[in-house]
Amino acid sequence: MYLEYFSLKEFPFSITPNSQFYANLSTHQDCINTLLVALQCGEGFVKVIGEVGTGKTLLCRKLMGMLDERCFYTAYIPNPYLTPDELRHALAHELRVNNADEYSDQVLLQHIYQRLIEISSAGARVVLLVDEAQAMKPETLEALRLLTNLETEKEKLLQVVLFGQPELELTLNRQDLRQLKQRVTFAQNLRPLNEIEISHYIHHRMAVAGHIGMPLFTEDAIRFLYKKTKGTPRLINISCHKALIVAFGRGDRQVDLLHVRRALADVEVISARNWWQRIKWPVLG
């Protein structure tokens, strides 16, 4: 497509989370700092709330890459729409419990506990990272809380980080989940990017993808992107990708306001919360 035209090694604005493109912006770095402090404390639940497309999964993967494997054993559940029994089995598989599918619930729990003890004895803390946590059923969240009761005389054996949309807050406010809510010891909100951060975000991703030289996106183009995307990274990625296609199709070497307007002409952005009503790719030429 436009890779060779703009001398790029890879697509800079893929919507697939890739920690290589992590831009170290203040909103993300604030979350990372909070998470690292929380994990050093070693107890309770940690909660990261962010709107659709603000970069929660990217942040989760960045965190996993930063944790020292000698100190932390990370378990990851990307799709938590599970029953309590499925949750226990998912955790068992992440902990590499042998023959987990063959055990009854009670026996499986004993094996999970033993595995947690083994990891703790080796000097590591087990951290369970749950992405899209707003999708968890209340009964599954309660089962997760009970798993965090596993402990030695000195410490908890399992710490949990929940990454979720604002709907997670509504679930945690339920009366029957008040015990879990009380165990949230650290919380952080992942906000959209401001106009200055969008500029850094776009130029950083272009540089990682191989762009060298003057900025490819003009200031007017970036201001318009900020206005239309409300600073939501996923929307920025989609918009920038389409704008590059338009510039390539017109034979232009820089992405300006015209290209961004053309790219978004058939896209109605309602808000970051309500996402896009429809997406139509522009006709090149």
- Concatenated DSSP letters for 174-227? SGGGHHHHHTEEEEEEEPPP-HHHHHHHHHHHHHHTT--SS-SB-HHHHHHHHH
Which structural domain, as residue segments, surrounds residue 152?
Answer: 26-190
Domain count, the chain: 2
92-129, pLDDT tens digit by residue?
999 999 888 888 888 999 999 999 999 999 999 999 99
Domain check: are 221 and 177 in the same one? no
Rounded distance, CA 133 to CA 178, Å?
17
Does residue 283 lie within any of the structural domains?
no
Does residue 282 lie within any of the structural domains?
no
Domain check: are 206 and 98 in the same one? no
Does residue 16 lie within any of the structural domains?
no
Among residues 135, 167, 190, the one where a domain terminates is: 190
28-60, pLDDT tens digit by residue?
999 999 999 999 988 889 999 999 999 999 999
Tell me what pLDDT residue 95 has.
Answer: 96
Does residue 20 lie within any of the structural domains?
no
Among residues 173, 190, 207, the one where a domain terminates is: 190
205-262, pLDDT tens digit by residue?
999 999 999 999 999 999 999 999 999 999 999 999 999 999 999 999 999 999 999 8
Residue 108's contacts (CB-CB under 8 Å, 6 or more residues apart) are 88, 89, 92, 97, 100
Domain of 251, CATH number, reads: 1.10.8.60
Does residue 10 lie within any of the structural domains?
no
